[in-house]
Amino acid sequence: MDGQIIRAEYSDIMQKSYIDYAMSVIISRALPDVRDGLKPVQRRTLYDMYELGIRYDRPYRKSARIVGDTMGKYHPHGDSSIYDALVVMAQDFKKGLALVDGHGNFGSIEGDGAAAMRYTEARLQKVTQVAFLADLDKDVVDFGPNFDETEKEPLVLPARIPNLLVNGADGIAVGMVTSIPSHNLCEVIDAVKAMIRNNKITTGGLMKYIKGPDFPTGGIIVNESDLPAIYESGQGKLRIRGRVVTEKVKGGRERLVVTEIPYTMMGANIGKFLNDVAALVETRKTTDIVDISNQSSKEGIRIVLELRRGADVEKLKNLLYKKTRLEDTFGVNMLAVADGRPETLSLRQVIEYHIDFQFEVTTRKYQNLLEKEEKKKEIQEGLIRACDVIDLIIEILRGSKSREQVKACLVDGVTEGIRFRTEKSRKLAAKLGFTEAQANAILDMRLYRLIGLEVEVLMKEHEATLKNIALYQDILNNYDSMAAVIIRELDSFKKEFGRPRRTTLETAEEIVLEEPKTEEMPVVFLMDRFGYAHTVDESVYERNREAADSENRFVLRCLNTDRLCVFTDSGRVHLLKVLDVPYGKFRDKGTPLDNLCNYSSSEESFVAVLALNDIRDTVLTFVTRQAMVKQVQGAEFDVSKRTIAATKLQDGDALTAVHAAAEQAHLVLGTEHGFFLRFPVSEIPLKKKGAIGVRGMKLAGDDAVSGVYWLEGGQSPEAEYGGKPVRLNRLRIGSRDSKGTKARA
């Protein structure tokens, strides 16, 4: 290949490289295998713990030791990914069946992270050892080389329970995502047994056993009627609610107690729920809650909402379900690696793949056991026969010169070179015909085995071996016998590791919350130069008009039911409800606009604030720093989104002004170099909001628009240049796209 140039299409190479990368992430990192329900990092961690002897009945070992050994031998992708996987497998609030027994701080349901790996310890759970790692020495699964081909690792663990359903899975691959809810172990085992007995069972038949997902956090699934379609297609959405109970307290009052949360509310979302409830009180969406406290502990979730006397409990529950994460959606996408490729599976397909895998594992196990028993039988038969002709064998041993000579005589009947007492003994020796394994066993046999009792023990062992062979042959040759073995194992797992269902199922109507109508009233929007905004009553503004106008950058009369359009120099417009702006006293500081919409004070500055009701039926005039102008229908900004592009800008340009000018008004553009151009607004063409616009004024060199003024309705504003006033209404009326008049400094 030296000196040879290979020509290839760049796009083809990129496509192939990307596909190879994507498949590597999908198969080797992000998605679980349908057979054992584990991702590679989970499988390697559990196998490494098994290899290190960190069993459930042995002492804990440092997590750092486990992580380091796993990374060095099997998973060279960084210690954080291995430790994160180890932590999740130890968290019983995330997994329906924890696979690792953690000792130390392994995090909490409220989002507290686990301690560093040097502080925590771990070992295998009993269920992991007996249901995932047992029989690895019986050649039940294939092994492959590790990343540097110095070790062997199992390509899949011989999991005896359908872990993909029991523990669920979540992961993000390249272009695809998996999200499988956890299920109840007892129900899943019953469904597996039902399909083993009747392989034509439908999804509906399986759902007689598997009622629905069973999350470790409990909760209530309220769209039970959607489950058949979800299990049939492998995709859909679950609506989960937290469990709320009512408790009586002294004084005739009641309180709501959240005892179970939706699975999606774990972690930081619990704190967000508390903040959302507080916000409902602050915005006066409800006045029934007087206090809220999180009393959760190791015993479980307990979030207490103290209510005022006479509170409408049912209405408040509906408000919490509608306005907070107490009711949430869990997206189901049962995507897993099946037969070496990613596939979205139905409930029936997942169980079918698991059963096929169980029969494969059981077949390989009993084939291995049968081979061992047949080898044992061969040796036992040889020893029993040797006991019957022991005198002849001793004569052969005494007359031989080497072990090889004796072995040749026992196996092939070669008697040359061996001294026999009689010719009859020679003839009998030539007919012995032991196998090579039997001959080795005879030569290795100790003399005490010739004791009568030992011979009887040997005969009993032989009988037991024959029974085992018959049993194993029956299991391997009879479907019902093998099925009975698998079912017996499943029953033992169900009895030892099963637990009652935590999540309840029901079909509930979607909550329709009738919010009280807000009484429409005129208010005045005030925003200072620092971006702090609030609204006040019109009468309050009128009493403090002079101070309000001088202290605030934007003063706008509007209705409290209106929406505001906040235009910025980046060419964007942020829409927010006036009701979201705090209403209060004149001297209130207000709230930063950053907290009310998607505005970012570090990236953009305010240009104009307009009420949508005022501009919906008007035309807005836009002016940029590079003197680009256009007019846009105000109705184009009546959208449901919170932030949209108000105009398109050229590189280096910025929006300078937005104004609802009358058609007969005049526009004056002032530049940094002292040029002023006055022309009618009617000369500016009407464009869409996505257009750049047209040139309003010719700029020389590095000049730019620094001031925009509107002459309308008898107004005569003044500008300033070089410390001297410029009377704008005395400027000569020019035309758009001209240079303008130079002011005297």
Residues that are catalytic: 119
Helix count (H) and strand count (E) of the chain?
Answer: 21, 35
Q: What is the dihedral of CA 202, 205, 210, 211, to 10 degrees?
A: 120
Q: For residues 85 and 65, what is the distance between their CA atoms, to the nearest angstrom?
A: 15
Q: For residues 472 and 462, what is the distance between their CA atoms, to the nearest angstrom?
A: 15
- Give per-residue burial for 188-206: e unless 16+ CB within 10 Å, then b: bbbbbbbbbeeeebebeeb
Contact 319, 513 (CB under 8 A): yes
The encoded tokens of residue 257 equal 């107690």
Q: What size, in residues, is the chain?
A: 745
Residues near 277 by Cβ (< 8 Å), separated by ≥ 6?
Answer: 289, 292, 305, 320, 324
Contact 114, 106 (CB under 8 A): yes
Ranges of H-type helices in 263-302? 268-282
Q: For residues 59 and 291, what is the distance between their CA atoms, to the nearest angstrom?
A: 46
How many other CB atoms are found less than 10 A from the CB of residue 362? 21
What is the pairing mode between strands 121-124 and 100-103?
A: antiparallel
Q: For residues 350 and 338, what is the distance between their CA atoms, to the nearest angstrom?
A: 9
Q: Is 433 left (phi over 0), alpha (psi -120 to 50) or beta?
A: left
Contact 196, 491 (CB under 8 A): no
The encoded tokens of residue 496 equal 């030892």
* Of 210, 198, 95, 189, residue with least CA distance to 489: 189
Q: For residues 644 and 660, what is the distance between their CA atoms, to the nearest angstrom?
A: 19
* Of 642, 741, 654, 658, residue with least CA distance to 698: 741
* Of 9, 37, 31, residue with least CA distance to 177: 31
Cα 86–Cα 90–Cα 94 angle in degrees, nearest 5? 110
The encoded tokens of residue 546 equal 């002079």
